Amino acid sequence: VLKLPIELDGPPPVAAHVAELISGGDVVVSGNQVVRLGGAALALQRRLLSVFRSLAAGLEAEERAYPVLIPAAVLARTDYFISFPHQATVATHLQEQGLEPFVQAMRAGGAPTAELSGRLDAPEQLLSPAVCYHCYAELSGVQLSRPLEVLTATGRCFRREDAEACLPLARQREFTMHEIVLLGRPERVTAAREQLLGRVLELARRVGLRGRVVQASDPFYGSVEGRARSVLQQAGQLKLELVVDCGDREIAIASFNRHEDYFGRAFSIESDEGKPIHTSCIAFGVDRWMRAVVAARGASPAAWTEALSAGSEVAT
């Protein structure tokens, strides 16, 4: 059991640096959504991803690129539709028989949103809510040959967020997540998670972030299962978050999640010892890291290039 909170006492961050980055045109925003990254902002995102990959490389992780779409059947093997139905973003198509009337409605100047409604196929796929579900699906029914497997991937993820709650580089319906997923024997998964927690904290210290690691829980839907899982997460320190100060608000930029044997059982994945594997995932909210780094170090690439070079030493 970790003694929490673990404090990070960086210098005071400056929210105006983030405003400067956005007004500089390298983060283009429309209706509270980020619609484009370019220039320094894109360079910062790439630099961060490279640091996160180095963190995983220290654990001999295998890198993956997964699709954005994920079958509903995969999520249904977990309690996703019971615990997070309110966050599901579904992907579907127009029904064959709806195509002709839809085209006619469009020709007549109809509103696409209204005309789409009622003419859609039953959705079989969703837009990924997180990266790690793809890892469990990949290893479904497999017995691992090593005591610990580590997979790492970057993905676009999607959640339902109220329009008024959205804030660029803080809370978005579509965002970039980098995950390191640990799979294997319980003691190996625990040790790797602790090692990564230490390294991420060291990275955050070298970058000069101010904040703390706290116990957290997922935003479960208000079902009895969701309420129970919220209690369980806190009881077992199953979810820790690195929350940092960005000057005008605090945001969680990384989470450290323990699932025990939940996904091992749900996807029938066995350890090299023949038992259901334990899993853990470390998730980085890449857009949020961008906000945190810029608030701490300024919008100028020179400032954060130096900070992240210091940070990447931790990782290698």
Partner 1 sequence: VDTPYAKLKAFQEALVQQGVLTPREFETRLLSHLRGLCGADISPETHLFSSGLINSLKFIELMVFVETTLGIRVPNSRLSAEFFQTPRVIVDTFCAGKPC
For partner 1, the binding residues (CB under 8 A) are 217, 224-225, 227-232, 234-236, 260, 262
Report the residue number, 230 or 305, with the smaller CB distance to partner 1: 230
Beta carbon of residue 259, minimum distance to partner 1 (angstroms, whole number) = 9
The DSSP bridge pattern shows strands 250-260 and 239-245 to be antiparallel
**Contact at 8 Å (CB) between 153 and 63?**
yes
| Residue reference for tokens 């997922």 | 218
Strands (E), 185-249: 210-215, 239-245
- Tracing tokens 């091992």 back to the chain, one arrives at 264
Nearer to partner 1 (CB atom), residue 74 or residue 238: 238
What is the biggest distance separating any 2 CA atoms in the chain, rounded to whole angstroms? 65
CB of 233 to partner 1, least distance (A): 9
The Cβ-side half-sphere exposure at 246, using a 13 Å CA radius, reads: 25
- Which C-beta is closer to partner 1: that of 33 or that of 217? 217
Q: Which is nearer to partner 1, 227 or 275 (CB)?
A: 227
As a whole number of angstroms, the distance between CA 102 and CA 110 comes to 9
Question: Is 92 or 234 the residue whose CB approaches partner 1 more closely?
Answer: 234
State the Cα–Cα distance between residues 75 and 61, nearest whole angstrom. 24
Of 10 and 186, nearer to partner 1 (C-beta) is 186
Residue 228 beta carbon to partner 1: minimum distance, rounded to whole angstroms = 4
Return the amino acid letter for 93.
H
Q: How far is the CB of 151 from partner 1 (least distance, A)?
A: 23
Which of 143/237 has CB closer to partner 1? 237
Minimum distance, C-beta of residue 268 to partner 1, in the bound complex (Å):
16
- Residue 217 CB, shortest distance to partner 1, in Å, is 8
Spell out where 159-247 has E strands: 174-184, 210-215, 239-245
Sheet with strand 278-285: strands edge to edge: 6-9, 210-215, 239-245, 250-260, 278-285, 174-184, 148-158, 62-64
Question: The tokens 């085209």 sit on which residue?
Answer: 103
Which residue, among 52, 45, 43, 22, has the nearest Cα to 34 in the 3D structure?
A: 22
Q: In angstroms, rounded to a whole number, what is the distance separating the alpha carbons of residues 35 and 37?
A: 7
User: Nearest approach, Cβ of 232 to partner 1 (angstroms)?
Assistant: 5
